[in-house]
Structure 1
Amino acid sequence: MAIDLFDDPIWQMSLGERAAIEGLLSAVRPALAIEVGTAEGACLRRIAMHSGEVHSFDLITPSIPDLPANVRLHTGDSHALLPEVLAGFAAEGRNVDFALVDGDHSADGVRRDVEALLASPAVGDTVIVLHDTGNEVVRTGLDAVPYGAYPKVAHVDLDFVPGHLGRDRFPGELWYGLGLVVVAADRPAYGSGPAVQTDRHHGGELLAIARDVLGGREPGIGPRGYDGRDRRLADAYRRIDELERRLGDGALGA
């Protein structure tokens, strides 16, 4: 039943993220898919339902009852394993149709996973989904990826599904959010302008600004004095100005 998509108590994604991934998988119908970050296997099951073959990577071997027959698990460091597996696909002339990056949440780690995908000849006609783009650390890594260095990258939207500022769950923390990278090697981006979405504010940084301003409030009282509020707002305005400058200079995703 369709409601199972939203009822799954194991899947560590918001309902909007689940729907977006399900929609992409239904449209792409991958013959070959990759997942970086297996966790408890909830998203892996949805990927497997729509795919011919799935390769999932995690530091530890997950315990997944009734693992789908079309799934192969790879245990270890994705930064070492992923390039090797991709090289094998490239040597066989295979294309990865869908990839989900939800493993290493350090800035350097997520950047390396994304760059491994973009550098591979096996990623030529591919939809890549990135999880937790609303998190500051993850977003720092994703912003550092030189998308413009890969002409096969046709579109980048790191706020495809916006992230959340936690209140009841993960209070005051920034999590969730899906990014979307579309790779189309047959439509190189030479001369067509930047592929990175720039027509709206940077969602992750705006959430961080909101968190920092809201963090100075006490329940039922409001800001902690005018001096503290003014300092926080002045810093928020400074950060907004800096963000506008970076967008104007094309520094994000350059």
Structure 2
Amino acid sequence: MNSTKTLNLITNQYTIPWSMSRAEQATLIRVLQTIKPKVAIEIGTYNGGSLQVISAFSDKVYAIDLTPTYRDKQCDALTNVEYLIGDSKIVVPELINQINSNNEVVEFILIDGDHSTKGVLEDITNVLKLLPKQAVTIILHDSFNPACRKGMKAYDYNSNKFIENVELDYVTGAFNHDGLYREMWGGFACIRMQPEKQIRPLEVTSYQDKLYRTTYLRSIHFYKNLFWFLKPIYKIFKK
């Protein structure tokens, strides 16, 4: 059997292209197959690649994005999806308040919207105001990207007693991702919440932290951060 066909066996039934590695696609499919969420939330829909999978295994999905411009027309057939258009920093708090009030059972969340450190932290902070009715699995895409990872590490997870565990390298990311020169992207972090409050101190784990740190020192991100003080000068000359 052709090796490419073998690798794509688990993902090739989904026809909307999606910007995740084969490992990420296979993991997302398997996680959703296992959970079969009553309600799921996706922050960052873009063209709908991951949404098609979330929709296939969920009873209901809230899909949040800044604009519907890039959404694939095939998304029109996803009848269990409610699209919420706007900035996640505004939309998510309103949605979480609504869910907490009407007792909807959220069991899966994908965070893949704003990729800045501040944006990632705000999305996490807002999502974790959810009062879980059942176990909740939260997948955060691009945990291998330094800016995103910094935002993921910035939240005080011990302040939320519903959080059971946090793993930054649930799926490892990639170097030179999609041909982007010496850039680090991809990877899944995973947060698990339980309806029962946890009584033990929580340790954020990062299974591949040594790989992350070694890669970071060879990445373009390292040099950009090293010479951050030159950015104002660069902007002047760019004009």
The TM-score bracket by the shorter chain reads 0.7 to 0.9
Aligned to 1:11, what secondary structure does the other structure show? coil
Aligned with 2:209 (options 192, 198, 201): 201
Q: 2:9 corresponds to which residue?
A: 3
Aligned to 2:100, what secondary structure does the other structure show? helix
* Superposed CA RMSD: 2.5
- Does the Cα contact within 8 Å between 2:16 and 2:48 map onto a contact in 1? no
CA distance in 2, matches of 1:80, 1:9: 28
Q: Does 1:64 align with 2:72?
A: yes
Listed as ranges, the gaps of 5+ residues in structure 1 are 216-234, 236-254
CA distance in 2, matches of 1:163, 1:123: 31
Q: Does 1:156 align with 2:166?
A: yes
- 2:11 maps to amino acid: L
CA distance in 1, matches of 2:113, 2:32: 19
- Does the Cα contact within 8 Å between 2:169 and 2:207 map onto a contact in 1? no
- 1:108 maps to amino acid: K
What's the CA shift string for 1:125-179, capped at 9, x where partnerless? 2000000000011111111011111111101001000111116611211100101
Q: 1:116 corresponds to which residue?
A: 126
CA distance in 2, matches of 1:6, 1:25: 16
CA distance in 1, matches of 2:25, 2:170: 13
Q: Following TM superposition, by how much is the alpha carbon of 1:4 offset from its aligned partner in structure 2, in angstroms?
A: 6.1
Aligned to 2:40, what secondary structure does the other structure show? strand
- 2:147 maps to amino acid: V
- Does the Cα contact within 8 Å between 2:177 and 2:185 map onto a contact in 1? no
Q: 1:129 corresponds to which residue?
A: 139
Q: Does 1:18 align with 2:28?
A: no
Q: 1:185 to 1:76 in 2, by over 3 A?
A: same
Aligned to 2:217, what secondary structure does the other structure show? helix
Larger radius of gyration: 1
- Does the Cα contact within 8 Å between 1:78 and 1:113 map onto a contact in 2? yes
Q: Does 1:103 align with 2:109?
A: no
Aligned to 1:160, what secondary structure does the other structure show? strand
Aligned to 2:189, what secondary structure does the other structure show? strand
1:48-59 paired onto structure 2 within 5 Å? 48-59=55-66
Please report the TM-score for the alignment, with normalisation by the length of structure 1: 0.77
In the TM superposition, structure 1's runs of 4+ consecutive aligned residues that sit over 6 Å from their partners are: none
Aligned to 1:97, what secondary structure does the other structure show? strand
Please report the TM-score for the alignment, with normalisation by the length of structure 2: 0.81
Q: Following TM superposition, by how much is the alpha carbon of 1:207 offset from its aligned partner in structure 2, in angstroms?
A: 2.2
- Does the Cα contact within 8 Å between 1:136 and 1:205 map onto a contact in 2? no
Q: 1:14 to 1:121 in 2, by over 3 A?
A: same
Q: Does 1:189 align with 2:198?
A: yes
